[in-house]
Homo-oligomer: A and B are copies of this chain.
């Protein structure tokens, strides 16, 4: 039974990763660079001609498969973490230096730091995106393994970025053990001090979602409570982790309600659905996730970590039951 929930956490992250609008943008990275340049030119054309027809990623003279529904950046980084979880974290990251890969600003900067001799925790701290949720995504792996994600997290993140990772790992571990979303959320909250942005936002988000009563209904309140929009990074742990906790709670742990609601939080649609999917997938288990989604979300595209192209994410959970 906990095996089903372990698989649910991993598949749930991939489903949420695939459900968000940005997934096809990430997957389109597999296309030739001119394709994305043309995308920007079309956007400029629409601006100039004042037409509202926004360009969506397209496959002109490029393979169409990357634009089908499928997992993207977060699922690949989760897979990489599962594959390397038993190795010392700094050593695992060091192997990525110089490789052809795509990653969040925090990870890119951390690799640059390691390359310059800046070791953890400075590698994650001396980092303009120390607050992003790269480590929180990877923490799903440590959550299903029942391990502390801190050593991993501080390679690339600091502050709210590390707290978000600890909260996600604790929530996933608790959800895998109990299937109980209330207990999972409480386990996360225990690790998020009130005086931090992420701790403040998590409590704000949970009460806003509770008032709304249901996941989709909570979206406008979460937008108003969490996002400042001045320069709204879409992947800040202080926004995405609280949104995931709140939507998981509001849905009663139902992935089919929580993930699409997360995708409606437009500014957070890159990773909030993935984190939400991991939490609710862990609560409900793999078998509760619609088959069409697990079928289309389990095979990695290699859009961030080319070595993982074609890898079946669910294979990586085989030893973990």
Residues of A within 8 A of B (CB): 19-26, 33, 36-37, 40, 43-44, 47, 49-54, 56-60, 64, 67-69, 73, 100-105, 108, 129, 132, 212-214, 216-221, 223-224, 227-235, 256-257, 259-261, 263-264, 266-267, 269-270, 290-293, 295-296, 304
Contact yes or no, A229 B53, CB < 8 A = no
How often does this chain occur in the complex, in copies? Answer: 2
* Cα A295 to Cα B217 with chains together (Å): 11
| Chain B residues whose C-beta falls within 8 Å of the C-beta of A304 in the assembled complex | 52
Q: In angstroms, how far is the closest chain B Cβ from the Cβ of A58?
A: 5
Given A21-B266, A59-B230: A295 and B73 within 8 A (CB)? no
Query: Residue on B with the closest CB to A255?
Result: B216
Contact yes or no, B264 A229, CB < 8 A = no
Which of B36, B217, B269, B292 contacts A220 (CB under 8 A)?
B292
Contact yes or no, A47 B36, CB < 8 A = yes
Q: In angstroms, how far is the closest chain B Cβ from the Cβ of A252?
A: 14
* Cα A149 to Cα B48 with chains together (Å): 30
Contact yes or no, A54 B219, CB < 8 A = no
* Cα A231 to Cα B291 with chains together (Å): 28
Which of B33, B52, B235 contacts A73 (CB under 8 A)?
B52
Best-surrounded residue of A56, A64, A224, A235 (most CB of chain B within 10 A):
A56
Contact yes or no, A68 B223, CB < 8 A = yes
Contact yes or no, A53 B129, CB < 8 A = yes
Contact yes or no, B220 A296, CB < 8 A = yes
* Cα A246 to Cα B212 with chains together (Å): 27
Contact yes or no, A68 B224, CB < 8 A = yes
| Chain B residues whose C-beta falls within 8 Å of the C-beta of A266 in the assembled complex | 20-21, 23-24, 56, 69
* Cα A213 to Cα B54 with chains together (Å): 31
Q: In angstroms, how far is the closest chain B Cβ from the Cβ of A40?
A: 5
Contact yes or no, A40 B44, CB < 8 A = yes
| Chain B residues whose C-beta falls within 8 Å of the C-beta of A53 in the assembled complex | 104-105, 129, 132, 233-235
